[in-house]
């Protein structure tokens, strides 16, 4: 940093105060004794990056959905990444905009060769999906 005339001390201070970027592996405080993180990964590459970062650290219960009125080709790819790297998947709605929820979920589902059961649920209502995940999560 000296080469561009910036002292190291302000950088060190700024970094020590940095709490992260909202919506990027953002820790959600809770009373359940579990780690809850929010990340707005919206492509198969960003979802893979997040899940690979977490994979060896803990069991991953993934609540996710794809956005409506956006690139439809990424939906099954995101489903495949979820299937490959998440221990459990709760497929839900994201912002559907003008697109039917069933269509979006159906496209994501094509990448997930699991059957509905302990490690895979489809709960279109996002609040209910989150409640289900929290209820079934373990420390």
> pLDDT (tens digit, 9 = 90+) per residue, 44-77?
999 999 999 999 878 999 999 999 999 999 999 9
Q: Is the pLDDT at 1 greater than 70, yes or no? A: no
Quote the distance between the C-alpha of residue 96 and its chain's center: 17
Split at pLDDT 50, 70, 90, the class of 139 is confident
pLDDT of residue 56: 82
**Residue tagged 């929820």 (tokens):** 101
Cβ atoms of 50 and 25 within 8 Å: the answer is: yes
Q: Rounded mean pLDDT of the chain?
A: 93
User: Per residue in 29-68, is it b (16+ CB within 10 Å) or e — as a string?
Assistant: eeeeeeebeebebbebeebbebbeebeeeeebbbbbbbbb
Q: Which CATH class is domain 21-136?
A: alpha beta
State the average pLDDT over residues 86-90: 97
How far apart are the C-alpha atoms of 46 and 24, rounded to whole Å? 10
């Amino acid at each position: 940093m000296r080469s561009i005339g910036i002292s190291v001390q302000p950088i060190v201070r700024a970094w020590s105060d940095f709490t992260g970027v909202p919506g990027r592996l953002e820790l959600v405080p809770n009373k359940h004794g579990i780690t809850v993180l929010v990340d707005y990964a919206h492509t198969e590459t960003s979802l893979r990056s997040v899940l690979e970062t977490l994979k060896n650290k803990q069991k991953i219960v993934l609540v996710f959905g794809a956005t409506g009125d956006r690139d439809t080709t990424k939906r099954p790819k995101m489903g495949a990444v979820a299937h490959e790297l998440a221990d459990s998947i709760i497929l839900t709605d994201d912002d559907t905009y003008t697109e039917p929820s069933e269509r979006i979920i159906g496209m994501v589902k094509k990448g997930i060769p699991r059957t509905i059961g302990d490690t895979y649920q489809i709960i279109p209502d996002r609040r209910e999906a989150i409640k289900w995940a929290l209820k079934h999560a373990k420390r």
